[in-house]
């Protein structure tokens, strides 16, 4: 466990808060979400199973861009990738979505892989706004769910993923969030975190999804 907390933390790329309390909280959350980066850098072999970080429990139901209800039961026996964003994000979100689109295209025809993006700005990101955003990306709602819901539910969900999502008036767009993608297996276990702004990390994510698809139940 001592090894797991020795992670790399890059505030300048992904977070823009000047508030010391927010920075401390973000440091803790992002430190936890970067555990797999350490394991990978220490030589985790392809023949070894991906580590199980935690079992995820999300008790909330959200609404996606098609107006459909989305809850954890939808992902039962599925592999999925989750992240947090907002459509008016002026910083890392466009990069994250271009990288997530790579994951979408890699598994577009595989019903066992689903993508899940939570907006952290539900007041602005209504179902209609998310629908327009998804259409511009050219994605299908049943393959990539972009969800909205009560703000407190969304922020609590981010904590359950061990990711940061919060308001910050000093940040661009007034909000800050983690730039990581979470990989969740068929049992609802988080198996890895990947930097959503870095092509190499997302390539590893695609590779690890294939490993989970081959993993015995």
What pLDDT is attached to residue 177? 85
Mean pLDDT of 111-131: 97
Q: Which value, in Å, is the radius of gyration of the alpha carbons in the chain?
A: 16
What pTM does this model have?
A: 0.80
Q: Is 204 left (phi over 0), alpha (psi -120 to 50) or beta?
A: alpha
Is pLDDT at 30 greater than 70 in this prediction? no
Q: Which of the residue ranges 3-7, 83-87, 165-169 would you say has the lowest mean pLDDT?
A: 3-7
Instruction: Report the percent of the chain where pLDDT is more than 90.
Output: 68
Is pLDDT at 2 greater than 60 in this prediction? no
Geometric angle at alpha carbon 212, from 211 and 213, rounded to 5°: 90
Domains and CATH numbers, the chain: 18-44+51-214 (3.40.30.10)
Mean pLDDT of 48-72: 97
């Amino acid at each position: 466990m001592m090894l797991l907390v020795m992670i790399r933390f890059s505030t300048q790329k992904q977070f823009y808060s000047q508030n010391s309390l927010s920075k401390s909280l973000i440091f803790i959350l992002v430190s936890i979400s970067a555990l797999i980066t350490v394991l990978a850098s220490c030589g985790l072999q392809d023949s070894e199973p991906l580590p199980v970080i935690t079992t995820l429990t999300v008790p909330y139901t959200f609404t996606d861009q098609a107006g459909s209800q989305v809850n954890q039961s939808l992902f039962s026996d599925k592999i999925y990738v989750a992240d947090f964003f907002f459509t008016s994000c002026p910083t890392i979100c466009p990069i994250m979505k271009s990288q997530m689109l790579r994951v979408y295209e890699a598994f577009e025809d595989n019903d066992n892989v689903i993508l899940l993006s939570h907006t952290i700005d539900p007041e602005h990101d209504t179902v209609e706004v998310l629908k327009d955003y998804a259409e511009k990306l050219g994605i299908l709602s049943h393959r990539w769910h972009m969800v909205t819901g009560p703000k407190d539910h969304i922020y609590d969900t981010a904590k359950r993923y061990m990711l940061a999502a919060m308001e910050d008036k000093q940040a661009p767009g007034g909000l800050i969030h983690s730039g990581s993608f979470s990989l969740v297996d068929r049992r609802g276990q988080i198996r890895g975190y990947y930097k959503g702004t870095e092509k190499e990390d997302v390539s590893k994510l695609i590779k690890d999804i294939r490993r989970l698809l081959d993993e015995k139940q």
